[in-house]
A and B are shown apart, each in its own frame.
Chain A
Amino acid sequence: MIAAVASLRPSQTAVPRDIGFFEWFFDADTWTGATGILDSLRDTVILCAAVTLVAVAVSVPVAAILAHLRRAEVSSTWLVSISRAVPTFAIAALLLPWSLERGWGFEPWPIFIALLSLALVPIYLNTYTAIRQLPEGPVDAARALGYSERSILTKVELALASSLIFSGIRVAAIQVVATEPIRAFLGGDGLGRYVRDGFGQNNNTLVIGGIVLIGGLAALTGLIFVALERLVLPDGVRRLTRQQGETSP
Chain B
Amino acid sequence: MTTSTTRSRVARLLAPIAVLGLFTAACGSDDGASSSNSEPATTDANSEMMDGPKIQIRGQDFSEAITIAEVYGQYLEAKGYPVEILTPAGFRTEALDGLQSGDFNLIVDYVGGTQVEIAPDAASTADVDEIVANITDPLRALGLTLLDYSPAVDGDAFVVRGDSEASTISDVAELDYVLGGSSQCPERPQCLVGLEDPEIYGITFADFITLEFGPLLGEALANNEVDAVIWNTTAPQITEQGFKVLEDDQGLFPAQNIAPIISTELLEAYGDQLVADLKELSAMITTDDLLAWNTETDIEFRESDDVATEWLKSKGLL
Contact = CB atoms under 8 A, between A and B. Distances in A.
Given A14-B186, A200-B183, A81 B14 contact: yes
Interface in B27-55: 28
Q: Of A96, A103, A200, A247, which is in contact with the most chain B CB atoms at under 10 Å from its CB?
A: A200
Contacts of B193: 5, 7-8, 14
B13 A100 contact: no
B223 A103 contact: yes
A100 B223 contact: yes
A190 B181 CA distance: 17
B212 interface: yes
A61 interface: no
B252 to A, nearest CB: 14
Contacts of A186: 212, 216
Interface in A174-190: 184-187
Interface in A80-112: 81-82, 84-87, 90, 96-97, 100-101, 103, 105-106
Given A96-B219, A133-B6, A187-B216, A77 B183 contact: no
Contact of B21 (A11, A84, A244): A84
Contact of B197 (A7, A87, A97): A7
A197 interface: yes
B194 to A, nearest CB: 10
B300 to A, nearest CB: 18
Interface stretch (B137-145, B158-166, B203-211): B203-211
B5 interface: yes
A57 to B, nearest CB: 22
Nearest to B19: A85
Contacts of B16: 78
A85 to B, nearest CB: 4
Interface string A12-41: 101100000000000000000000000000
B28 A201 contact: no
Interface in B123-142: none
Contacts of B6: 129-130, 133, 164
Interface string B232-272: 00000000000000000000000000000000000000000
B184 A185 contact: no
Interface string B1-29: 11111100110011011001101110010
Nearest to B197: A7
Interface residue range, chain B: 35 or more
B225 A248 contact: no
B210 A244 contact: no
A133 B20 contact: no
A99 B84 CA distance: 42
B10 A129 contact: yes
B10 A87 contact: no
Given A77-B13, A125-B13, A197-B210, A248 B2 contact: yes
Interface in A196-249: 196-197, 199-202, 244-245, 247-248
Contact of A201 (B13, B14, B184): B184
A185 B210 CA distance: 8
B187 A14 contact: yes
Nearest to B24: A85
A68 to B, nearest CB: 16
Nearest to A84: B17
A78 B21 CA distance: 12
Interface of A: 5, 7-9, 11-12, 14-15, 77-78, 81-82, 84-87, 90, 96-97, 100-101, 103, 105-106, 125-126, 129-130, 133-135, 164, 184-187, 193, 196-197, 199-202, 244-245, 247-248
